[in-house]
């Protein structure tokens, strides 16, 4: 409800047109004496109407109160209904009421709604009317409605009174988790057929329970001690096998580059993939932490369960990339200072040839204590330049300019250097993933499940 409203008087369209016509008439009166007399009489008659119309606007004044109903937490891209309740306080009503809601720039209305004309008859019959409209949050982060504007008109439409009601609303826009989860099995299984069966190694699987042997079970999973204690009714041995589950209580750390390396679409896709995989990992009993570097240095400590996911959402919902330098080396040093146990570090950026030298001594150090996954996005523009459409037409090949040839050569060299860098990292024992913004969520979940089954942690 508004408490301190701001008002300002404005001339109406009719007053503006009338003043313009009166000015033109005054120009003619300067040259013709008989027009001068009509000009004076017109002004003398018009001024009382002007003052009376202003008084009739001042008399009712602003007799309205406004209340806005909107949830504090919104989902990015999800249509939200907003309710405005316009109430009459006392006294006379203005002759014309038009309403503007001052919604934030981060939100979009699909079709033109404002100004809304509020019918006086509705306010006469009841003390309040309700107006609803739909709005779509397009950007993550905090938002504020700065108020509502009401435009009141005088009976002759010569004057207008604009009143700004300080109906302040604020909240947060989070990534739409419903859309993130669409088409992905939240049990942690990516699309059918993508998983690879990996032989258990080390202590990657934990003992869960004993059960009867079923066709297809590995002979190595048979618990011979438990089998020797039980027999069937016919006297034969009843085979008992050990049932395993993925090891829990492990730790996942996400590090995302919020600098110039990741454009908007890549950054948003990476952030959504982080939240998606965080949900899966927390559901598997692991602890999840997150960090960012570049535009904003952020550290969210490890946590487990629903509280941890809430902390991640509150910590990452307003994280955006900016065209500023970022240092992967510094980010890894900071990560090492925070981690006190072996972790699965998922590092998301766009790694290039120069990173090979700058990270050459710290990567082996990290790899000894932790399991590191380096995630990059495919350079589609570079790939297009490096592999232009081939043609058998010799004339078209000859018509290529020197600049086009140089661009193709530079793009090919750039991609080749990236491939060599990634191959070198993989040879040294690091995990490397190069994917597209569309497939990063399923690719990361797949990698996570493969790591869980392999026992590398």
Q: What is the pLDDT of residue 208?
A: 56
Share of the chain above pLDDT 70, in %: 77
Give the tens place of pLDDT for each residue, 327-347. Answer: 999 999 998 889 888 999 999
Cα separation values, 279 from 188, 300, 305, 413, 442, Å: 9, 15, 9, 39, 13
In angstroms, the CA 40 to CA 214 distance is 108
Instruction: Kindly report the CATH class assigned to 1-174.
Output: mainly beta
CB atoms within 10 A of CB 91: 10
Give the tens place of pLDDT for each residue, 356-365. Answer: 888 888 888 8
Higher pLDDT, 92 or 273: 273
CB atoms within 10 A of CB 350: 20
In angstroms, the CA 143 to CA 123 distance is 31
Contact 285, 187 (CB under 8 A): no
Nearest to 175, CA basis, from 260, 295, 276: 276
Q: What is the pLDDT of residue 65?
A: 86
Altogether, the residues listed in the chain come to a count of: 457
Q: What angle do CA 278, 368, 303 make, to 5 degrees?
A: 25
Q: What is the pLDDT of residue 345?
A: 94
Overall average pLDDT of the 232-240 stretch? 64
In angstroms, the CA 329 to CA 352 distance is 13
Q: What is the pLDDT of residue 123?
A: 77
In angstroms, the CA 129 to CA 109 distance is 21
Is the peptide bond preceding residue 308 cis, with omega within 30 degrees of 0? no
Q: Give Rg (Cα) of the chain.
A: 35
Overall average pLDDT of the 346-370 stretch? 87
Q: How many alpha carbons lie under 13 Å from residue 407 in its C-beta half-sphere?
A: 12
**Position 96 confidence tier, pLDDT thresholds 50, 70, 90:** confident
Task: For residue 64, give the H/E element and its range.
Answer: strand 64-69
Q: Which residues are paired to 291 by β-bridges?
A: 255, 299
**Position 189 confidence tier, pLDDT thresholds 50, 70, 90:** very low
Q: Which residues are paired to 336 by β-bridges?
A: none
State how beta strands 6-11 and 159-165 pair.
antiparallel
Burial (0-12, 13-18, 19+ Cβ within 10 Å), 343: buried
Cα separation values, 120 from 160, 280, 431, Å: 16, 55, 68
Overall average pLDDT of the 304-314 stretch? 90
**Tokens matching residue 45:** 């008659």
List b or e across 315-326, with b for residues whose CB sees 16 or more CB atoms inside 10 angstroms. Answer: bbbebebeeeeb
Contact 50, 158 (CB under 8 A): yes
Higher pLDDT, 322 or 36: 322
Share of the chain above pLDDT 90, in %: 30
Higher pLDDT, 173 or 406: 173
Higher pLDDT, 163 or 189: 163
What are the percentages of helix, strand and coil residues in the chain, rounded to 5?
40, 30, 35
Give the predicted TM-score (pTM) of the model.
0.72
CATH 3.40.50.410 domain locations along the chain: 251-454
Instruction: Kindly report the CATH class assigned to 251-454.
Output: alpha beta
Higher pLDDT, 189 or 21: 21
Q: What is the pLDDT of residue 193?
A: 34
Contact 385, 411 (CB under 8 A): yes
CATH 2.60.40.10 domain locations along the chain: 1-174
Nearest to 168, CA basis, from 148, 197, 140: 148
**Tokens matching residue 174:** 């989070």
Overall average pLDDT of the 267-295 stretch? 92
Nearest to 70, CA basis, from 142, 145, 140: 145
Q: Is the pLDDT of residue 186 over 50?
A: no
Q: Is the pLDDT of residue 1 over 60?
A: no
Task: List CB contacts of 76: < 8 A, sequence separation 6 or more.
Answer: 137, 138, 139, 140, 173, 174, 175, 176
Q: Is the pLDDT of residue 371 over 60?
A: yes
Q: What is the pLDDT of residue 2?
A: 42
Contact 309, 282 (CB under 8 A): yes
Q: What is the pLDDT of residue 169?
A: 92
Detail the DSSP E strand segments found in 73-231: 73-75, 80-88, 96-102, 107-108, 116-118, 128-137, 141-145, 147-153, 159-165, 169-174, 205-212
- Average per-residue pLDDT for the chain: 81
Contact 243, 208 (CB under 8 A): yes
Q: Which single residue is written with the structure tokens 């049990």? A: 187
Q: Which single residue is written with the structure tokens 């297809």? A: 216
In angstroms, the CA 163 to CA 291 distance is 46
Q: Is the pLDDT of residue 196 over 50?
A: no
Q: How many alpha carbons lie under 13 Å from residue 111 in its C-beta half-sphere?
A: 2
Burial (0-12, 13-18, 19+ Cβ within 10 Å), 174: buried
Give the tens place of pLDDT for each residue, 145-156. Answer: 989 998 888 888
């Amino acid at each position: 409800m508004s408490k301190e409203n701001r008002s300002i008087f404005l001339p109406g369209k009719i007053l503006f047109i009338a003043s313009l016509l009166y000015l033109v008439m005054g120009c003619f009166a300067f040259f013709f004496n008989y027009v001068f007399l009509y000009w004076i009489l017109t002004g003398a008659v018009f001024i009382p109407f002007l003052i009376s119309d202003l008084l009739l606007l001042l008399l009712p004044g602003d007799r309205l109160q406004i209340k806005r109903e909107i949830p504090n937490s919104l989902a990015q891209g999800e249509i939200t209904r907003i309710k405005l309740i316009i109430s009459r306080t006392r006294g006379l009503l203005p002759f014309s009421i038009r309403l503007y809601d001052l919604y934030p720039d981060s939100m979009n209305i699909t079709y033109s709604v404002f100004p809304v004309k509020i019918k006086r008859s509705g306010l006469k019959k009841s003390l309040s009317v309700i107006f609803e409209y739909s709005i779509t949050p397009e950007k993550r982060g905090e938002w504020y409605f700065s108020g509502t504007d009401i435009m009141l008109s005088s009976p002759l439409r010569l004057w207008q009174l604009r009143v700004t009601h300080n109906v302040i609303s604020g909240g947060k826009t989070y990534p739409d988790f419903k859309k993130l989860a669409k088409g992905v099995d939240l049990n942690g299984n990516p699309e059918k057929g993508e998983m690879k069966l990996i032989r258990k190694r080390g202590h990657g699987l934990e003992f869960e329970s004993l059960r009867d042997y079923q066709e297809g079970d590995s002979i190595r999973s048979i618990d011979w001690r438990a089998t020797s204690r039980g027999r069937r009714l016919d006297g034969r041995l009843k085979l008992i096998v050990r049932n395993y589950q993925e090891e829990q209580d492990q730790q996942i750390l996400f590090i995302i580059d919020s600098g110039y390396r990741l454009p908007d679409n890549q950054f948003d896709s990476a952030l959504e993939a982080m939240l998606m995989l965080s949900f899966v990992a927390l559901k598997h009993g692991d602890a999840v932490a997150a960090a960012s570097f570049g535009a904003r240095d952020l550290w969210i400590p490890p946590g487990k369960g629903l509280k941890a996911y809430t902390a991640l959402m509150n910590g990452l919902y307003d994280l955006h990339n900016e065209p500023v330098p970022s240092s992967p080396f510094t980010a890894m040093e900071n990560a090492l200072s925070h981690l006190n146990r072996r972790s699965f570090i998922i590092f998301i950026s766009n790694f290039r040839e120069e990173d090979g030298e700058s990270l050459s001594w710290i990567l082996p150090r990290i790899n000894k204590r932790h399991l590191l996954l380096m995630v990059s996005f495919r350079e589609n523009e570079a790939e297009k330049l490096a592999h232009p459409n081939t043609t058998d037409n010799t004339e078209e090949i000859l018509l290529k300019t020197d600049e086009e040839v140089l661009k193709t050569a530079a793009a090919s060299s750039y991609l080749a250097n990236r491939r060599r860098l990634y191959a070198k990292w993989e040879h040294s024992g690091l995990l490397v993933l190069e994917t597209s913004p569309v497939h990063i969520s399923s690719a990361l979940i797949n990698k996570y499940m493969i790591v869980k089954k392999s026992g590398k942690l």
